[in-house]
């Protein structure tokens, strides 16, 4: 028979139990209007996800349970809702709700403890499966990580449908991995599988939706848009009375659904995915933390230009404030390019010369060489934070992953800020995304936001006469190749030699990366978009005598 299943791809906020409950209520009402028989929400939708150590607080557990019971009391009529929440234990659980009551509960059995996940720390695992009969269809429930492990026990129960609530963060190319896994599990179990994921940003994580439904042969029958909220309603052909359920909610044949929108949304390109993730990560960090506007130090270079463009798409040009802070070493084109970006996009823009402040420091402190260079960066950082404090903007740090990797930044200088939008993309990605964003503007008959000269000119910190990044670093096209292998894939010295890189280059890059751990620990958070980001993904000691070379 056909079971009409609504998959609520929505954007919760951690800790906003009332706001999340309102999202659930709205989605249930929409699903009922469409005649859906079952609605499935993402993992821990009541509390938002991930809650980290909030899970350990008895008060938060109690609040989650109370919110769930209140939500359940409002779900009436012929619809079943599967709602994720935090249970006592603490446990990562879902409740099966019908006619105002919680009919069954399922607890996540497999807890991820890798990458950005610490669920062994925060939860206790479940020990049993759950199959619930809804309109004669035996529906099995799994939560996120559960399907990354053997589903033999579920397959043995011969369900007519498997539903999987998820809190699965975005990273490049992960959608293909998800689809392959969902197809594999459906074929192994011999039943359709509906996989629902959340959207939105949460600290340094971005959730991209990408809700998927496949039939029992693994064929894709519906897929939601990426990065956007959507109530995906799909009519799924399911076997009837195929199992021995733990709970029977209804045996009667379901009435036909009124509407369904189970189309297969087109996939975004790699660069479009990256852009959406960066924009949404910044947007939600600002919105969910109560900020209204952002402040960006505009150098005229590519990094600050890209950050400004991301911010404009995230919060609107009216809420983006740029400031150029030239010194005696700044070139004319730096200020010109910063002003050109402001003119093209309509953001607020001002120029503040740092030279008087720098000279004041130098008249009281004997600083030469690197110390004098870093002083300029720190005066800029202090200027930005002063404006932020006075006017209430959040400062955006503009460093990229290549710079963070090798420590090419100044603590309390260009590293200041509340969020770092491009900290998880390498310099070569910065250029590629800037070019892509400008091309999108042209394709839509808009003015490109990023000055072409910012993209094409040689990178420079402009802290001394005629300075270039290449004075201190290998060419970025080569550097990024080594960094991707050393940082993202843990290739050591010997492996990098086998990869074909020069020994002198390898030693230089490894030395720079390993010495910069203390700087990375003090850098602002930023959206994770790669398979391995600095921070939770890559945890190394600051004090260590281990030497890869």
Catalytic residues: 43, 108, 144
- Helices 302-315 and 427-443: crossing angle in degrees, nearest 10, is 50
Interatomic CA distance for residues 102 and 431, integer angstroms: 52
Locate 94 and state its tokens: 């879902």
Residue written as token pair 């340094």: 204
Task: Provide CB contacts within 8 A for 22, sequence distance 6+.
Answer: none
Contact 467, 329 (CB under 8 A): yes
**What percentage of the chain's residues is helix, strand, coil (to nearest 5)?**
40, 20, 40
Task: Provide CB contacts within 8 A for 478, sequence distance 6+.
Answer: 505
Burial class (CB in 10 A: 0-12, 13-18, 19+), 393: buried
Burial class (CB in 10 A: 0-12, 13-18, 19+), 156: exposed
Residue written as token pair 């809420």: 319
Residue written as token pair 């909610």: 249
Residue written as token pair 């000279």: 359
* DSSP 8-state assignment for residue 517: H
φ/ψ of 28, rounded to 5, equals -65, -45
Locate 386 and state its tokens: 């002063």
Interatomic CA distance for residues 76 and 69, integer angstroms: 13
Strand runs labelled E in 171-223: 193-196, 199-202, 205-208, 212-214, 220-223
Locate 177 and state its tokens: 């991995």
Please name the residue ranges forming H helices in 316-461. Answer: 332-345, 355-362, 370-391, 401-406, 427-443, 452-456
Rounded to a whole number of angstroms, the distance between the first and last alpha carbons of the chain is 63
Interatomic CA distance for residues 324 and 299, integer angstroms: 6
Contact 195, 167 (CB under 8 A): no
Q: Buried (b) or exposed (e) across 212-245, using 16+ Cβ within 10 A? A: bbbbbebeebbbbbbbebbbbbbbbebbeebbeb
């Amino acid at each position: 028979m056909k079971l009409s299943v609504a998959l609520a791809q929505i954007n919760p906020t951690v800790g906003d139990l009332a706001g999340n409950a309102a999202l659930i209520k709205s989605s249930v009402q929409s699903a009922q209007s469409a005649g859906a028989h079952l609605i499935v929400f993402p993992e821990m939708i009541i509390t938002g996800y991930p809650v980290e150590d909030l899970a350990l607080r008895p008060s938060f557990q109690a609040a989650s349970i109370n919110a769930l019971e209140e939500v359940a009391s409002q779900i009436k009529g012929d619809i079943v809702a599967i709602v994720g929440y935090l249970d006592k234990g603490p446990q990562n659980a879902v409740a099966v709700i019908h006619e105002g009551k919680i009919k069954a509960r399922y607890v996540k059995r497999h807890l991820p403890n890798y990458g950005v996940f610490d669920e062994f720390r925060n939860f206790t695992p479940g020990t049993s499966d759950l199959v619930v009969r809804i309109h004669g269809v035996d529906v099995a429930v799994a939560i996120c990580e559960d399907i990354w492990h053997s589903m033999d026990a579920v397959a043995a129960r011969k369900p007519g449908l498997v539903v999987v609530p998820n809190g699965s963060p975005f990273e490049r190319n992960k959608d293909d991995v998800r689809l392959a896994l969902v197809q594999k599990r459906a074929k192994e179990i011999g039943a359709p599988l509906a996989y629902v994921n959340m959207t939105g940003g949460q600290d340094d994580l971005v959730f991209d939706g990408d809700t998927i439904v496949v039939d029992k042969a693994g064929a894709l029958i519906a897929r939601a848009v990426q990065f956007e909220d959507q109530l995906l309603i799909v009519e799924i052909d399911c076997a009837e009375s195929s199992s021995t359920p733990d709970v029977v909610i209804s045996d009667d044949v379901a009435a036909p659904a009124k509407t369904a929108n189970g189309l297969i949304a087109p996939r975004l390109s790699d660069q479009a995915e990256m852009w959406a993730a960066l924009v949404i990560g910044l947007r939600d960090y600002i919105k969910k933390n109560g900020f209204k506007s952002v402040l960006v130090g505009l150098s005229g270079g590519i990094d600050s230009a890209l950050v400004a463009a991301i911010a404009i798409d995230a919060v609107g040009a009216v809420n983006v404030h740029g400031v150029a802070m030239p010194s005696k070493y700044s070139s004319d084109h730096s200020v010109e390019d910063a002003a050109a970006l402001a003119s093209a996009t309509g953001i607020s823009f001002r120029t503040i010369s740092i030279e008087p402040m720098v000279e004041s420091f130098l008249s009281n402190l004997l600083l030469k060489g690197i110390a004098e260079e870093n002083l300029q960066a720190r005066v800029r950082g202090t200027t930005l934070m002063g404006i932020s404090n006075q006017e209430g903007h959040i400062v955006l740090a503009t460093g990229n992953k290549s710079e963070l990797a090798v420590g090419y930044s100044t603590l309390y200088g260009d590293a200041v800020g509340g969020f770092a939008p491009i900290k998880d993309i390498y310099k070569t990605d910065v250029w590629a995304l800037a070019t892509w964003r400008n091309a999108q503007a042209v394709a839509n008959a808009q003015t490109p936001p990023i000055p072409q000269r910012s993209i094409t000119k040689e990178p420079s910190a402009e802290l001394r006469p005629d300075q270039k990044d290449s004075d201190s670093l290998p060419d970025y096209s080569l550097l990024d190749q080594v960094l991707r292998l050393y940082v993202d894939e843990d290739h050591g010295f010997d492996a990098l030699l086998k990869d074909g890189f020069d020994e002198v280059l390898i030693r230089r890059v490894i030395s720079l990366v390993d010495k910069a751990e203390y700087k990375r620990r003090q850098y602002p958070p930023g959206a994770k978009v790669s398979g391995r980001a600095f921070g939770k993904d890559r945890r190394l000691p600051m004090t260590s005598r281990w030497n890869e070379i």
